[in-house]
Amino acid sequence: MNPFLVLLIVFVITMIIGVPIAWSLAISCICSLVLASGLPLMQITQKMYSGGEKYTLMAIFFYMLAGSIMQHGGISSRLINLSKAAIGHVSGGLSIVVIVTCMLFAALSGSSIATTAAIGAMLYPELVKENYPEGYSAALPVVGGTLGIVIPPSIVFVVYGTTTGTSVSKLLISGIIPGLLAGLLMCVYAWFEAKKNNFEKSGKFSSKNLGIALKDSIWALLMPVIILGGIYSGIFTPTESAAVAVVYGLFVAVVVHRELTFQKFLQIVLDSVKGTAGILLLIMAASVFGYVLTINNVPVLFTTAMASLISSKVTFLIFINILLIFLGMFMDSGAIILIVAPLIYPIAMQYGIDPVHLGCIVVFNLAVGQATPPFGNCLFAAVSATKQDIMTLSKNVIPFLLILFATVFLVSFSPVLATGLIALMK
């Protein structure tokens, strides 16, 4: 039996019956290599080990740990207070606060799901208390949370850079302008929506309160500055910056705010280890999956088929936008990158697309896919945080998704949005 056919059938069946994707990849590879190709199991072990031994992958654990420290060390609450003090007084101010806080928290956690869950749990009750519609209130952290993997630091950018050999530091910078642009456009829509429905304002503006909130949150605001500034000044690498973020976060949470206990820190470390182990297992299994695809000439066949169906750079960009958003609805972002990126990367290079621009397109599309009904991961995170059903959330995220879709296509066809800041920093 054809090894690739065995790989495909076993992978689809295991996914359908609910086997975790990392194990679906591993089991399908074992069946293809051993049953169909007759290769020894040692090949699988070697490929999995080589897939997980990359130095840059250390950043995943440290970024996850840094995000958890920020969440439980009193820093996220101070960011919320700053957002309220700055824009809570405008029409729809609290709804804009949710989006802005998601953007700020995304720049600390690097995770869309973590951002949606954390901000949804904290601000959804306040939105309802201010008489915002429940469905609309629950949708805000969903769409705001998508920016978690676009605005640096981003675990997904690290995975993409490691997979394709693209500079991780440049990829992280490429997400800044697209992430801020998407957030700004959603804030504008939230303002118009508040005007149309006469949502209440959250108090009056006070320069004194703003000053106090800014003073309290200055340590949190310095974190992304230290990380990105350190990377581009050459003080440390993107991987080292993740460790710096942990040390800095611990200092702020323990010494400055004094809100992180030793017991809580141990639990955070344990959770981060578990989360990292899951991601690394996925990366290692995907390495074997990629090897099986390669020995069966799938990348060559895929490239040939794409070349016959796509005749220009424009049609290629439209195709990958649609493909990635669709896949992002069903699969983990890391898994999609590990499987799809090696296939589309050579084709993109043939069309002269900048590798960093391509990475920004890929990650941004996957971010939007996480909020796209009916299977987006951020939707399910919001169900848990807000107790709203999936249908209510799906209906209310649609206007924001249209904005995100438009921003994705704008970034796709305007490379300067992804690479312009990098050029300025040279």
* Per-position DSSP letters for 76-124, written without gaps between them: HHHHHHHHHHHHTTSTTHHHHHHHHHHHHHHHHH--HHHHHHHHHHHHH
pLDDT tens, per residue, the chain with 426 residues: 677 788 888 888 987 888 887 788 888 888 887 775 566 777 777 777 777 777 777 777 887 787 778 777 877 778 778 888 888 778 888 888 889 888 877 766 667 877 887 788 778 888 888 889 999 999 999 999 888 889 887 888 988 998 899 998 899 899 999 999 999 999 999 999 988 888 766 667 788 888 988 888 888 888 777 777 787 777 887 778 878 888 988 998 888 888 888 888 999 889 888 878 877 887 788 778 877 877 777 767 776 777 777 878 999 999 899 888 888 776 767 778 888 888 899 889 989 999 999 999 999 998 898 888 876 778 877 887 788 888 899 899 999 999 999 999 999 999 999 999 888 876
Distance CA 317, CA 184 (A): 24
**Left, alpha or beta for 331 (phi > 0: left; psi -120 to 50: alpha)?**
beta
Q: pTM (2 decimals)?
A: 0.78
Closest-CA residue to 68 (of 17, 30, 111, 98): 111
> In the numeric block, which tokens belong to residue 403?
């904005």
Per-domain residue ranges of the chain? 4-39, 54-424
Q: 99: closest CA among 63, 136, 49?
A: 136
Q: From CA 179, how far away is CA 421, in angstroms rounded? A: 13
Q: Do the Cβ atoms of 408 and 363 come closer than 8 Å?
A: no
| Pairwise CA distance, residues 21 & 27, whole Å | 10
List the one residue out of 81, 119, 85, 114 whose CA is nearest residue 99: 119
How far apart, in whole angstroms, are the C-alpha atoms of residue 255 and residue 238?
25
| C-alpha closest to that of 147 among 403, 415, 410, 412 | 403
Rounded CA gap, 289 and 294, in Å?
9
- Two tokens at 113? 């799901």
Q: How far apart are CA 60 and CA 41, in angstroms?
A: 28
**How far is it, in rounded angstroms, from Cα 39 to Cα 61?**
33
For 76, 115, 392, the CA distances from 373, given in Å and listed in that order, are: 28, 18, 10
Q: Is 150:363 a contact under the CB 8 Å cutoff?
A: yes
Give which of 70, 252, 47 is closest to 153, Cα–Cα: 70
The CA–CA distances, whole Å, from 393 to 22, 297, 328, 397 equal: 28, 42, 17, 6
Six-digit token pair at 133? 């519609």
Rg (CA), the chain: 22
Q: Which one-letter amino acid corresponds to residue 388?
A: Q
- The identity of residue 401, as a single letter, is L
User: CA dihedral defined by 378, 279, 159, 108, rounded to 10 degrees?
Assistant: 50
Location of structure tokens 């992304």: 224
